[in-house]
Amino acid sequence: TTDVNNLSWLSYGVLKGDGTLIIVNSVGAVLQTLYILAYLHYSPQKHGVLLQTATLLAVLLLGYGYFWLLVPDLEARLQQLGLFCSVFTISMYLSPLADLAKIVQTKSTQRLSFSLTIATLFCSASWSIYGFRLRDPYITVPNLPGILTSLIRLGLFCKYPPEQDRKYRLLQTC
């Protein structure tokens, strides 16, 4: 999903002529694609990974077809693509909260990455400031949930510090 997100924002940047969006999302798309290829290479469940990747690729191609072929007006295309990117970004930021009930139930933040939480906070804050500076709500608004969800996750780290996680010994499996 992060790769589709990068490629969508790259399209938005190209359509808008925004060099920052183009460069950042080009690098992000290349890195995410390399990650997918490496994961696919080492994954024992190649069929599932290929199916997920093909599904997301189909969604991306359908989106490109819609935006570039069926929405001829440049301004309408920019607005619709911005809205699509915004919804996709918000869903990406909300996804780590899917484990929220399990974290509270187990009183363990073992399912969360502290470094990823900090990176998400800085990244979403940076994009929000950039979008605010450009007066572009499609960049500003979807990154605000990233700040909020990062603060929620940081709160979970405060409530259930990693030291508590060390009290439980993981079971070894063969």
Q: Residue 165: its pLDDT value, please?
A: 47
Cα–Cα distance, 144 to 128 (Å, whole number) = 6
pLDDT digits (tens, 9 = 90+) for 149-163: 999 989 999 988 876
pTM of the full structure = 0.81
Q: Residue 170: its pLDDT value, please?
A: 54
Q: Residue 64: its pLDDT value, please?
A: 83
Cα–Cα distance, 119 to 147 (Å, whole number) = 10
Token pair recorded at residue 142: 């979807």
Buried residues in 136-164 as b, exposed as e (16+ CB within 10 A)? bebbbbbbbbbbebbeebbebeeebeeee
Q: Residue 172: its pLDDT value, please?
A: 58
Question: Which residues in the chain show pLDDT less than 50?
Answer: 165
